[in-house]
A and B are shown apart, each in its own frame.
Chain A
Amino acid sequence: EVQLLESGGGLVQPGGSLRLSCAASGFSFSSYAMNWVRQAPGKGLEWVSGISGSGRNTYYGDSLKGRFTISRDNSKNTLYLQMNSLRAEDTALYYCAKEVWGIYSGRYFDYWGQGTLVTVSS
């Protein structure tokens, strides 16, 4: 059974930093790209960042402007998101999601964690 368990969220002051983790199990972690998706309270879904299975390729949403860094440790089956210079608008539930890619099936997220809440406030 695929499981994704996020941790590391919490209350942080504006300008502060936080590192999120996502522990994965139930599948061959290094074979799949992984992503972070966030959802501000009462709002829709926003893709944040993605990383290839090897970790060599990373992608970011335009709104992040270099403040976030995605990484992974395949020996630990863990995905990370380092968030710096946090702003009030970064307040959201952060989900990690397993990506599936196929020539004919496309790219999409087949499994999601339950999310970890990040609150940026003074």
Chain B
Amino acid sequence: EIVLTQSPGTLSLSPGERATLSCRASQSVTSSYLAWYQQKPGQAPRLLIYGASSRATGIPDRFSGSGSGTDFTLTISRVEPEDFAVYYCQQYGSSPPIFTFGPGTKVDIK
């Protein structure tokens, strides 16, 4: 079973700064099966990125995803006040067919 590790655990930034969030897998992940979600307090998770680099409908272009193999990155080019939240990466493995989430990275206000 693939284990996802996210770093850092918490990222403290000021609005306008660049955010770089890392998701590392214990073994190679098919890029198309890597997604990112944003969760704000009291809300359900929201899909940001699928297929490692494709933005979901309605997601601003300041959000971008990249990576392959075992290392994936979510970048927020300029953090807006509404971007302070927890971000989770997720992968799908077909053998066995399960979904796995990373532990999350919290982006908070510096």
Contact = CB atoms under 8 A, between A and B. Distances in A.
Interface of A: 35, 37, 44-47, 50, 59, 61-62, 95, 100, 102-110, 112-115
B35 A106 contact: yes
Q: Which 9 A-B pairs have CB atoms at the shortest separation, nearest pair first?
A: A106-B32, A108-B35, A47-B99, A112-B44, A107-B92, A106-B33, A45-B101, A108-B50, A106-B51
B94 to A, nearest CB: 9
A105 B46 contact: no
Interface string B35-75: 10101000111110011101010000000000000000000
Nearest to B48: A108
B55 to A, nearest CB: 12
Contact of B32 (A95, A104, A110, A114): A104
Contacts, number: 73
B80 interface: no
Contact of B98 (A59, A103, A105, A115): A59
Interface in B68-100: 88, 90, 92, 96-100
Interface of B: 1, 30-35, 37, 39, 43-47, 50-52, 54, 56, 88, 90, 92, 96-104
B5 to A, nearest CB: 12
Given A105-B32, A105-B54, A50 B101 contact: no
Contacts of B47: 108-110
A45 B92 contact: no
A106 B92 contact: yes
A65 to B, nearest CB: 14
A103 B32 CA distance: 8
B51 A45 contact: no
Contacts of A95: 44-45
A112 B104 contact: no
Contacts of A107: 33, 92, 99
A47 B101 contact: yes
Nearest to A93: B44
Nearest to B49: A108
Nearest to B101: A45
